[in-house]
Structure 1
Amino acid sequence: MSLKSIVREIKDGMGGSMSRRGGSGEGKHWHRRTRSQIVVAPADQKEPIAHSSSESIRQGRWANLPPELLLDIIRRVEESEASWPGRAVVVFCGSVCRSWRAITREIVKTPEQCGRITFPISLKQPGPRESPIQCFIKRDRATSTYFLYVGLVPSEVGVDKLLLAAKKIRRATSTDFVISLVADDFSRASNKYVGKLRSNFLGTKFTIYDSQPPSEAAVQLNSRSSRRFHSKQVSPRVPACNYSVGTISYELNVLRTRGPRRMNCIMHSIPLSSIQEDGKAPTPASFIHSFDEQFSPLRGRVTVASVKNFQLVAAVDPSHNISAAEQERVILQFGKIGKDIFTMDYRYPLSAFQAFAVCLSSFDTKPACE
């Protein structure tokens, strides 16, 4: 029996059992709910939703496979599903039962280790150290929404894998870009909410907020770095704070000369030690500029001149023990390739969420910088 046949049998078996439990009147309803619980990974990543009403089914015969056999099955699935959307099968394996979930979590590596995005938590983990993860952003001017997809360019059949979505919301004194895991829910009271970007009045300074602290040691809340929701808008499962994890500042263009914008980005959640030799950037486990020849493949990804185009490199004090090559490494490139289509290539120590937030700042109006 092939791996896909096993997956299909598990899915059909669970759906049928739930249909029988629900009776003739509610069978279809229960069947639909069961499938959604199994296939869709929740916001806290590698902990798929488990409800007591279906626990006995979820811990059925497939949970009793010998650990050695189960390890071999999931390892083969993981190795065969190299990219989206195929890696949805890997996510499904982690949603079968507790034993499958534990083995899947043990096998699946972070983007830094394997260069692939699997679970939603991968979007908040640092990218690979060498080759960047290549993504693109689609802009919808009519709805002021921005969609981040994985891949080189949009596919002809329109089945691109959505990673993150953002909604631009103009306020009296600022602009917010609310970032979500889905394209149709931008409520900050939703469990799909992952963070936001907020600008000042002139659009020259931005603050990146994460829905969860990047690490236990980095939790430093004050009245200006966190914002609480109204108690009636928040469910018990949704975090009540935004954590300031980074700032972006655009230099003022006092002389009004034509040219590219200049920005400085400070990521409070990434310690300086992370880019030192053998350094390690914070890697959450769950959801609660050089123009050298070596970077020519990245520059080739930008085909349309735009004031929004930029490359971001690490810049630290020379007294720190950071090699010159590391300081000149491009860690984020953003560029226009067509009408409302932009590339976003990022690498360690940035995560997809952090890179997306930095790129979103380029879309806001900046009369003082142009």
Structure 2
Amino acid sequence: MATQTHVVLLHAYSSRNSGDGLLVDLSVTLLNEALGEGTRVSIVAADPGSFPQYPDVYPAPVLADSGMTRLGAGAAGLMFPIDSNGRMRALLQLLKSADLVVGVGGGYLRARNCIEALKLEAGHLLQMRAARLADKPTVYLPQSIGPTMPAEPLRSHLSGMLSGFSSVFVRDNRSLAFLERNANTLRAPDLAVLDFERRSEQIMTRARKARPAVSHVAFVLRRAPGWSAQQRGRYESATRTLIHQLGETCRISFAVQSRGRGNDDLAYYRSIGIDGEPTTLKDLLVKDTPDVVVSVRLHGVLESVLNGVPSYHLSYERKGFGAYADLGLHDWVANAADFDAGKVAATIMAPDAIRAFWANASSGFERIRSGRDSILAALRTARNA
């Protein structure tokens, strides 16, 4: 009888943000596909209580704390990364019991300013340091990586730590360029894009049932993260214009995808004067399926696509452009900080828009399949090392 493989999955956040919860679900699915359905997956999460469906979840050092406790733990972690943090010691023990360490896919290894750089160092880099100390085979699933702020010591430190792992997959070309000196870096699609290919037959079956004309558009909006006042102003003005233009001929719905700490879509809707009780995107896609979704959140976009609903992505960072390039949907993505509402509306309302969307998406299947095979092979190779 084969021995059960034990994997520790690092860097999980919270399923209260459905995009982050989806990344954990997709990571676990990928691990079971690569290593067998009996694989034991221990999850290390910032919000462990939000993953009740998994039996083996542990609080992340620093990130699982809150308020002043979190601040104090972060400071202690920076000065005494091992000895002063009980959760860090527990994490090391867990990692040493594992056959393989895996970093969940996502965009947590970045920083746009000094505050985010401190959070990165005190939180996620602490987990990376533990993985290095445990000296176990380690694979990081598709990431967006690299501080955008001019902080060369942090950039060099992050690149150097990642160079010691078995494989590091990146989901966009900027991240690939950042790690170009690391021989273990490989380009692959976002986890949700990989799942799109795996479920392509099911998705296309749903897509073929869609109405050819667009009469119901759902929006998934969020507060613009880390932008200047001018960028926020352009974003809010353009989204209002887009809602008005589409609302002249379509029914408009609003959906929330995140209610997590400091990341509350409903609060943002209230701040821009949208009343009522928007449902979750997951429920809307099932109970009142729109013809098109316009989403600022990438995983709102991809959740829509996975459910057979075309989605226009107003992207606020590199991961969105990378994902839509992998899907072959270059005409359905724009910069959220500087987009032309008229052009977006024209793309969505074009006479053959829905058919063209799915024709372009299906063209990327082979490229996506190749990326999935590369990740599965890397996981198996690392497990057997």
Q: Give the TM-score category using the shorter length.
A: under 0.3
Whichever of the two has the greater Rg, that structure is: 1
Instruction: Give the TM-score normalised by the residue count of structure 2.
Output: 0.23
| Higher helix proportion | 2
Instruction: Give the TM-score normalised by the residue count of structure 1.
Output: 0.24
